Amino acid sequence: MSASLDALVQEALTTGRIANLPNGHFIDGRFQPSQSGARMESFDPGRGIAFADFAAGDAADIDAAVEAGRRALRGRWRDLKPAERGRILQRAAALIGENAERLAVVESLDSGKKLVEALGDVRGAARTFEYYAGACDKLQGDTMPLGRNHFGMTVHEPVGVTAHIIPWNYPISTTARGLAPALAAGCAVVAKPAEQTPFTALMLADILHQAGLPDGVCNVVSGTGREAGAPLVAHPGIDQITFTGSVATGIGVMQAAAPNVTRLVLELGGKSPVVVFADCDIEAALSGMMEAIYENAGQICSAGSRLVIEKSFSGTFLARLTERVRALTLGHGLTNPGMGPVNSAVQLAKIEGMVAAAVKRGAILHTGGARAEGGELGQGWFYQPTIVEPSLSSDAIVQEEVFGPVLTVQAFETEEEALALANGTRFGLVAGIYTADFGRAHRLARDIDAGQVFINDYFAGGIEMPFGGNRKSGFGREKGLDGLKNYTRVKSIAARISG
């Protein structure tokens, strides 16, 4: 670690706090308190105690943020030259880089994730703004051949004021992947970060303001989903909603948006398969599997939470995988252990309950299966990295999202059976395939019902690759140029020019 990063980490570990965190909502270009004066606490998952408090917003604060966005949209932001919007976003990318260490320490302390993972998330956020900065002046329309006497064309207009509901598992990453394309398209934004992890979204809004973003273009209101999120998605002044979260909450967002006929992008849950064949590169498959399910303590929508493995190979692979899993060290995220805590006591109880119920139904527990306790681990919200093998593919531990460090195992004998197992849940977010057979890999990639498929490298790609789900995993795409189009509306113009 650099000297400055080490000092920040030591400050957080020694005092349990970080100085000078945002102290209010970011509305109309400045931090300001809730109109009610209400505040909430944010907890350090590694210790299970509060480390800071923040403004708890409600409908009045949402009204102020949306109105600030609408004023800014009517002002010069929509009419600013696209290249100038790009320069502002490029400056924001540079400022994220300059503040990367502080942002990462805050992200780690707030979410519980390992510091090295948080640093990767911050670098990814900078890259996201860099990518969309370059896209601002490339949102060009088309011309249509209407004949000699007519001219037809399309133009892309900003959709308006966009709402962004940010989850707690990847706060700065998800904030960036929504805000950057919306701003690039010329929209104004109102974001509501999860109440568990509010700080980096607020810090990012301040960075954008420092980069030259006009007042009111980017607004962030912190608070609970009930008090702040619900009035945001139901607000008639919102033109587009981007939501990342659970299926149940996503359905509620759709229902709230319906009376206003508000556009939606929903990125919901996942129960993603990783299909491993006996001819795979075993080292690559083992490393990919570890990353797929134990990064961020398994709290990833696209986590590879189902190992679908060729039966003849399963014993060998599981033995080596179990050995690696048992070697994982647990600890506070800022100490860069093998795996950090889960985000909250509520999430810990959910994981514990789902695994215990599966074992009671007869599932084989290969490793893990309980809270991690003893010493400093007993203070925080830690769950042992787990591998469980249910007897039936219909078992709830296979079918439902655990959102924790829990891997299920399903064995197959034929390619057709592997495909059936891969498609055997209500979700369709991502899938992984490990095999040396090029044809088989691409047959499965073609036939697996998922929005994104990784071949021989789980989590391959980056901001350039569109991301989103099918079926109960949601609809619409984020990232890439497809993500940019979410925040535009197409206008067709046809003109008679002679005759």
Residues marked active site are found at: 267, 301
Chain-centroid distance of CA 113 in Å reads 13
The Cα 156–Cα 282 span in angstroms is: 47
State the DSSP H helix or E strand holding residue 207, giving kind and residue range, or none if neither.
helix 199-210
Residue type, 215: D
Q: Are 175 and 191 in contact (CB under 8 A)?
A: yes
Q: Are 16 and 51 in contact (CB under 8 A)?
A: yes
The Cα 26–Cα 461 span in angstroms is: 32
The Cα 200–Cα 96 span in angstroms is: 11
Question: β-strand 427-428 against 406-412: which pairing, if any?
Answer: unpaired
Q: Which residues contact 327 (CB under 8 A, 6 or more apart)?
A: 338
Residue type, 380: G
Long-range pairs for 121-127: beta carbons < 8 A, 24 or more residues apart? 121/170, 121/172, 121/173, 122/96, 122/172, 123/97, 124/173, 124/176, 124/462, 124/463, 125/96, 125/172, 125/173, 125/175, 125/176, 125/204, 126/93, 126/94, 126/96, 126/97, 126/100, 127/93, 127/462, 127/463
Nearest to 348 by CA among 374, 306, 384: 384
The Cα 214–Cα 192 span in angstroms is: 19
